[in-house]
Amino acid sequence: MRGNFSTITKMFSASVVAAGLLMSVPARAADDTIKVGILHSLSGTMAISETTLKDAMLMLIDEQNAKGGLLGKKLEAVVVDPASNWPLFAEKARELISKDKVAAVFGCWTSVSRKSVLPVFSELDNILFYPVQYEGEESERNVFYTGAAPNQQAIPAVDYLMSEDGGSVKRWVLEGTDYVYPRTTNKILEAYLKAKGVAAEDIMVNYTPFGFSDWQTEVSAIKKFGSAGKKTAVVSTVNGDANVPFYKELGNQGIKAEDIPVMAFSVGEEELAGLDTAPLVGHLAAWNYFESVDTPENKKFIADWHKFIKNDKRTTNDPMEAHYIGFNMWVKAVEKAGTTDPDKVIDAMIGVSVPNLTGGYSTMMPNHHITKPVLIGEIQADGQFETVSRTPGLVMGDEWSDYLPDSKDLISDWRAPLSCGNFNVATGKCGGKGTN
Amino acid sequence: MNLFRAIGLTLLVLLATLSSSGASEADLRGIIAKFATAKGFSETGAVVHELAATGDPAVERPLAALADGNLYIRKADSLVFVGKETGDGVELLDPLSGEKSADAAKDDITKIKVNNTLRRVIRDALGTLTLGAKDPAVRIAAADTMFKTPDAANIEPLDTAIANETLASVKALLEQARAASVLVSDRPDADKLAAIALIGARGDRDAVSLLTSVEANAPDAVREAATAAIRNINSTLAFWDAGQNIWYGISLGSVLLLAAIGLAITFGVMGVINMAHGEMVMLGAYTTFVVQQVIRTSFPGLFDWSLVIALPLAFLVAALVGLAIERGVIRFLYGRPLETLLATWGVSLILQQAVRSIFGPTNQEVGNPSWMSGSFNVGQLAITWNRLWILVFALSVFAVLLYVMKRTPWGLQMRAVTANRRMAASMGIRTPWVDALTFALGSGIAGIAGVALSQIDNVSPNLGRGYIIDSFMVVVFGGVGNLWGTLVGAFSLGIVNKFLEPYAGAVLGKIVVLVLIILFIQKRPRGLFALKGRAVEA
């Protein structure tokens, strides 16, 4: 039954969307414009998160054009809709690169959509900017990862909870949605916690399906696990739609942040917009950006966003900042290279440094990941986060986790002599394999 | 934490020796002023302890405000105020008297930051201060806090409170809190054994939590008693766990029932494979959102009634859309199930995208009215109000529907058309209109299900997606065309699911249930309660 429905879903959404797009995308190519591809789902399950990123990109491109464009040319956005359908991501990427001849693509949210477009980008040699926190264990020549790697989000978050300020947590629930990001992140965290001396019986790992909505059993299991006389915290990699019912159940069963705090990696301002956050005050999230961060850059960004989207209530979030950083880096690299030719831009990208929104500079490292500060925020009654902890310096994204046996010897360096995304320092050979 | 406690204790001792009768107002103001210079959470925590150590009930206001994030420093003169947000600025109130002293713009003041650790420190501090409060609920909360964070220094204030307490129920809680504090003190073992007996009788998870932490480092006699008490409590709790699983199952069943009941009519009675059913549920949820939005802006006093107001509107909206779908699409496709499936699937995509275009792709906030928030305990079983109301609501919808189908002329016509269309037509029933109204009824009921589901799930364009598979599963399992089958099907699937979940996990649990249903359908292709009669052959 299930199989039939989903095949039909795919057939339908693919054809409906394809038809819609053929009509909406202008196919004219003019020589005085540089095309930028935007590959975010505008329909289907991921539309809830990805539509915002499409709008953010349109705003950034508008602003760049207002500043006089790039290399004396106007930028032109080419928007396609892969409709939350992973194979369609690859098709749309191919269309953007070969048909529309875009200079770079900004897109994808889920890891599986990124994995599905990877072969297209290396075959057609183009650039993808990926703005979302992910599980790491990957470094591709054609991809720039502007979201957080696990060491830029998960590990500092756990460190905070272990600290005195965070409540000296001794017992851990790793609660996640059942797919690659939570599974890999939890593997890394489990190894990390054990290395820090946490006993196996003090770690509980649990997974739920996508879009899960009946959290009663899970929440009461958390309550039970938390009543062993040790300070307990939940590290949540629960994704997207499942979060709202999860938090509602936590609130209803009276789990307070003072007793069992929940640290989330996929809950941002956008997700909280659908919730009454009063019962959730104090639950945490770890990101590299919060809308509440008080810097002039961020104030301007929020004001521009509200003006562009014509709605004062729309929130900003971490992946938007990642696109802001990624786009500005690309602009700078293109200026540096004097061309939009992907090969030259890829080489020019490394070492490019641009301001981020939290009052510092982010730099593109040789492993195609960037440096960012890590912020821990507590949910407030108004649906915003308040920063309660911030790493003293910038953290450099570590693509191959040091805590997984398969990847601890791997490094990535895309600069000339080495030019390898998975160099094994133990064997001295390029071509190691990580966990997934 | 320990640092806070140590600082607090020394201050307590110091102050107790200096003055036994609480501090003067000037002293309090002096301490409160220190918030302005405290840097970081630990220094703020020290100030909190200093305030709490005065034992003056007046400090409750600034401390509670601090915990809620409402304590501000005015940048101009570093004075500390309790803030109350008004439209565009903040009203500054005196931290002790609570009287209004000034207005300020948001940029002129800084909020004193709190985190979880600090909130817990404040909660503990307030616990001791509010033991003598007039409102029994506050005293209960205080006793509860003190039970969870036992401290030897609490014994004396608790003794006084127990002596003054008039309500037996509160007194019992206070005694348990005292017992908890005795356990962490250096009182003789005999006292501790008595305390363990008292806590063991409490019998909940908090008691286990406390006893487990005591068990770790205690002399032999005490440890044995604690171990025995934990074993005792755990065996009772195991019994309650089973009860809890049943309740969770019933509650999940009620959600399934609500989602499926409209489908039981459109698919069950009419035989239309309606893939747009989930979108009717979504429309109902969005109607609730719109109703709440209007109430929030125009009639804030009516918020608790928002769901009641939304019910008929959601029914109407979904029923009208259903009617339009039936008249516009489905009536041309009767008897062609595959085409109906594809057409309704297309309709569902159109509806989703329409809602996405109108309301945006993000979740919309639908608030819980106060009578649907929180939970209450039956023994060791925590029952949340929203789940209970949804159960009651699902059963009443079912009862009403059953009445309509079995006891009204319209229901009779519906059943007649289903049983034998041509005969019904010959008897003068206008079958096309019965079809249209039946479909509208099914859709309308899906709409009111949306009102209830908006309370526990996301209100997003994807809302319906999550329920469509489950709804078909319930209807097919229960027996197509039989309302009672849908009821029994929903509850049995819910309970089986919830009994499997703790052992197999949510992912595997769902797979197991699906496999069980497939096997069951192999054995009984027409579900639990097969409909007898000609309809089956038609």
Give the range among A315-319, B199-203, B344-348 with minimum mean pLDDT.
B199-203
Nearest CB to A254; choose among B349, B375, B510? B375
pLDDT above 70 as % of chain B:
94
In this prediction, residue B450 carries a pLDDT of 95
Query: Partners of A264 in the beta sheet?
Result: A236, A285
pLDDT band at A2 (very low <50, low <70, confident <90, very high): very low
Place of tokens 């809602």: B355
Specify the pTM: 0.84
> Using one digit for the tens of pLDDT, what is the confidence trace for B137-182?
888 888 888 888 888 888 888 888 888 888 888 888 888 989 988 8
- Edge-to-edge strands of the sheet including B89-93? B100-105, B89-93, B80-85, B71-74, B109-111
Of B115, B205, B255, the CB nearest to A378: B115
User: Which residues on A lie below 8 Å from B367 (Cβ)?
Assistant: 276
Give B123's pLDDT tier (boundaries 50, 70, 90).
confident
For chain B, what is the mean pLDDT?
A: 86
Query: What is the model's pLDDT at position A27?
Result: 41
Contacts of A268 (CB under 8 A, 6+ apart): A285, A287, A315, A317, A318, A319
Taking residues A304-329, what's their average pLDDT?
Answer: 94
Q: Rounded CA gap, A213 and B386, in Å?
A: 14
Q: Is the pLDDT of residue A30 over 70?
A: no
Q: Which residue of A has its CA nearest to B346?
A: A12
In order of their start, the domains of chain A are 15-149+296-371 (3.40.50.2300), 151-293+375-396 (3.40.50.2300)
> What is the overall mean pLDDT for chain A?
88
Using pLDDT thresholds of 50, 70 and 90, give the confidence band for residue A160. very high
Measured in whole angstroms, the distance separating CA B159 from the mean position of its chain's CA atoms is: 36
Which residue ranges make up each domain of chain B?
2-123, 133-218, 241-367+444-537
**Cα-based distances in Å from B220 to B152, B216, B233, B283, B492:** 21, 11, 20, 64, 48
Residue with tokens 């070969």, as numbered in its chain:
A98
Question: Predicted confidence band at B23 (pLDDT cuts at 50, 70, 90)?
Answer: low
Contacts of residue B113 in chain A, CB cutoff 8 Å?
386, 388
Statement: residue A341 has pLDDT above 60: yes
Lowest mean pLDDT among B140-144, B434-438, B486-490: B140-144
CB within 8 Å: A282 and B116: yes
Task: DSSP for B432-471, please give it.
Answer: HHHHHHHHHHHHHHHHHHHHHHTTTS-BSTTTTHHHHHHH
* Cβ–Cβ contact B223 with A under 8 A: no
**Among A residues 239-268, those touching chain B with beta carbons less than 8 Å apart:** 241, 244-245, 248-249, 251-254, 257-259, 261
Report percent pLDDT > 70 for chain A: 92
Lowest mean pLDDT among A282-296, B126-140, B495-509: B126-140
Q: Which residues of A touch B1 (CB under 8 A)?
A: 164, 167-168
Chain B CB contacts of A209 below 8 Å: 506-507, 510
Contacts of A214 in chain B (CB under 8 A): 248, 251-252, 255
C-alpha span between B203 and B226 (Å, rounded): 12
pLDDT band of B246, cuts 50, 70, 90: very high
Q: Which of A270-274, B363-367, B473-477 has the lowest mean pLDDT?
A: A270-274
Give me the total of CB pairs closer than 8 Å, taking one residue from chain A and one from chain B.
189
Q: Which residue of A lies nearest to B121 if distances are taken between CA atoms? A: A258
State the pLDDT at residue A179: 87
Give the pLDDT score at B21: 44
Mean pLDDT to the nearest integer, A288-308: 95
Q: Which residues contact A11 (CB under 8 A, 6 or more apart)?
A: none
Model confidence over B374-405: pLDDT tens digits?
888 887 888 889 899 999 999 999 999 999 99
Length of chain A: 436
Q: How far, in Å, CA of A262 to CA of A161, rounded?
A: 10
Q: What is residue B10's predicted lDDT score, i.e. its pLDDT?
A: 55
Predicted confidence band at A344 (pLDDT cuts at 50, 70, 90)? very high
